[in-house]
Chain A
Amino acid sequence: MKKWSFIFFAAVVGLAVTTTGFAMGKLPDKKAIVLADFGTTYLSALKAITTIQNEVKKDFPNIEVRMAFTSNIIRNIWHKRRQDAAFMKEHGKNLKEFLSIKGPLATIADLQDEGYRTIIVQPCHIYSGEEYADLRSYVNGLNTIHTIKAKYMPFVKLAIGRPALGTYGPAHDYHEDMETAAKVLKDDVALAGKEKAALVYMGHGNEYYSTGIYAEFQQVLRKMYPGVKIFMGTVEGFPSLDDVLAGLKHAKIRKVVLKPFMVVAGDHANNDMAGDDNDSWKNQIKKLGIRVVPILHGLGENRAWARIYVRHIKDAAKDNGIELK
Chain B
Amino acid sequence: MRTIHRTIGFLCLFLFLGVTAAGAVVIVDAGGKRVTVSPPYHRIISLYGAHTENLFSLGLNKEIIGVSRHEAYPPAATRKPVFSYHEDAERFIAARPDLVLVRPMITRGYPALMRKLRAAGITVVSLQPTSVDGMLTYWKTLGLLTGRGKAAARMIARFEAGIARIKKMVAGIPKDKRKRVYFEAIHSRMKTFAPNAIAMFALKTAGGINVAADAKAVRGTNIAEYGKERILSHADEIDVFLAQRGAMNRVTRRKILEEGGFKAIKAVREGRIYIIDEKIISRPTLRLVTGIYEIGRFLYPETFNDVSNLRAKKLLTRAQFAEMIVKVTGIPIKTPSYRHDILKRRKGSHCYGDYRDVDYTSEASAYIETAVARGLFRNAGGRRFFPLKPILRGDVAYGIFMKFDLPEARPVKISDIPEDDPLYPQAAAVAGLGIMKLNQGKFAPGRVVSGEAAYQALKRAVAVTERK
Interface residues of A (CB under 8 A from B): 41-44, 80-81, 84-91, 254, 270, 276-279, 283-284, 286-294
Residues of A within 8 Å of B401, CB to CB, are 286, 289
Residues of B within 8 Å of A85, CB to CB, are 228-229, 261
Contact between B260 and A289, CB atoms less than 8 A apart: no
Task: Provide the bound-state CA to CA distance between A43 and B260, in Å.
Answer: 10
B275 shortest CB reach to chain A, Å = 13
B261 contacts which of A43, A90, A270 (Cβ < 8 Å)? A90
Residues of B within 8 Å of A254, CB to CB, are 425
Can you give 12 contacting A-B residue pairs, CB < 8 Å?
A: A42-B255, A44-B254, A81-B260, A270-B254, A277-B373, A278-B374, A279-B346, A279-B349, A287-B402, A289-B422, A289-B423, A291-B406
Task: Provide the bound-state CA to CA distance between A131 and B228, in Å.
Answer: 36
A86 contacts which of B258, B260, B425 (Cβ < 8 Å)? B260
B429 contacts which of A41, A291, A294 (Cβ < 8 Å)? A291
Task: Provide the bound-state CA to CA distance between A293 and B408, in Å.
Answer: 11
Residues of B within 8 Å of A87, CB to CB, are 259-261
Residues of B within 8 Å of A279, CB to CB, are 345-346, 349, 375
For window 411-428 of B, CB contacts with A under 8 Å fall at 421-426
Whether a CB of chain A sits under 8 angstroms from the CB of B372 is yes
Contact between A289 and B424, CB atoms less than 8 A apart: yes
Whether a CB of chain A sits under 8 angstroms from the CB of B361 is no
Contacts A254-B425, A277-B375, A289-B426 given: A80-B188 contact, CB under 8 Å?
Answer: yes
Number of A-B contacts (CB under 8 A): 73
Closest Cβ neighbor of A252 among chain B residues = B420
Contact between B425 and A289, CB atoms less than 8 A apart: yes
Contact between A84 and B228, CB atoms less than 8 A apart: yes
B248 shortest CB reach to chain A, Å = 16
B402 contacts which of A41, A44, A90, A286 (Cβ < 8 Å)? A286
Closest Cβ neighbor of A196 among chain B residues = B408
Residues of A within 8 Å of B263, CB to CB, are 90
A272 shortest CB reach to chain B, Å = 14
Whether a CB of chain A sits under 8 angstroms from the CB of B444 is no
- Specify which of A254, A278, A288 lies most central, judged by the most chain B CB atoms within 10 Å of its CB: A278
The 10 lowest CB-CB distance pairs between A and B, nearest first, are A86-B261, A87-B260, A278-B375, A289-B422, A289-B425, A283-B375, A86-B260, A289-B426, A43-B258, A90-B260
Residues of A within 8 Å of B405, CB to CB, are 291-294
Residues of B within 8 Å of A90, CB to CB, are 260-261, 263
Residues of B within 8 Å of A276, CB to CB, are 331, 374
Q: Mark B250-269, 1 if CB is under 8 A from A, else 0.
A: 00001100111111000000
Contact between B260 and A290, CB atoms less than 8 A apart: no
Q: Mark B206-250, 1 if CB is under 8 A from A, else 0.
A: 000000000000000000000011001000000000000000000
Residues of A within 8 Å of B372, CB to CB, are 278
Contact between B260 and A278, CB atoms less than 8 A apart: no
Task: Provide the bound-state CA to CA distance between A270 and B252, in Å.
Answer: 11
Task: Provide the bound-state CA to CA distance between A7 and B375, in Å.
Answer: 47
For window 65-104 of B, CB contacts with A under 8 Å fall at none
Task: Provide the bound-state CA to CA distance between A279 and B352, in Å.
Answer: 14
- Specify which of A84, A293, A294 lies most central, judged by the most chain B CB atoms within 10 Å of its CB: A84
B81 shortest CB reach to chain A, Å = 28
Task: Provide the bound-state CA to CA distance between A108 and B372, in Å.
Answer: 50
Task: Provide the bound-state CA to CA distance between A286 and B375, in Å.
Answer: 10
Residues of B within 8 Å of A80, CB to CB, are 188
Q: Mark B125-144, 1 if CB is under 8 A from A, else 0.
A: 00000000000000000000
Residues of B within 8 Å of A81, CB to CB, are 260
- Specify which of A44, A90, A284, A289 lies most central, judged by the most chain B CB atoms within 10 Å of its CB: A289
Task: Provide the bound-state CA to CA distance between A288 and B260, in Å.
Answer: 41
Residues of A within 8 Å of B259, CB to CB, are 86-87
Contact between A89 and B260, CB atoms less than 8 A apart: yes
Task: Provide the bound-state CA to CA distance between A90 and B259, in Å.
Answer: 10
Contacts A85-B229, A87-B260 given: A287-B188 contact, CB under 8 Å?
Answer: no
Residues of B within 8 Å of A43, CB to CB, are 258
A199 shortest CB reach to chain B, Å = 17
Contact between B261 and A89, CB atoms less than 8 A apart: yes
Contact between A42 and B254, CB atoms less than 8 A apart: yes
Contact between A278 and B373, CB atoms less than 8 A apart: yes
B408 shortest CB reach to chain A, Å = 8
Known: A85-B228, A90-B261, A279-B345. 11 other contacts (CB 8 A): A42-B255, A44-B254, A84-B261, A88-B260, A89-B260, A89-B261, A90-B260, A279-B349, A287-B375, A293-B405, A294-B405
Closest Cβ neighbor of B257 among chain A residues = A44
B300 shortest CB reach to chain A, Å = 23
B250 shortest CB reach to chain A, Å = 11
Task: Provide the bound-state CA to CA distance between A294 and B405, in Å.
Answer: 9
B253 shortest CB reach to chain A, Å = 10
Task: Provide the bound-state CA to CA distance between A164 and B331, in Å.
Answer: 40
Contact between B232 and A86, CB atoms less than 8 A apart: yes
Residues of A within 8 Å of B345, CB to CB, are 279
Closest Cβ neighbor of B378 among chain A residues = A287
Closest Cβ neighbor of B422 among chain A residues = A289
Q: Mark B311-339, 1 if CB is under 8 A from A, else 0.
A: 00000000000000000000100000000
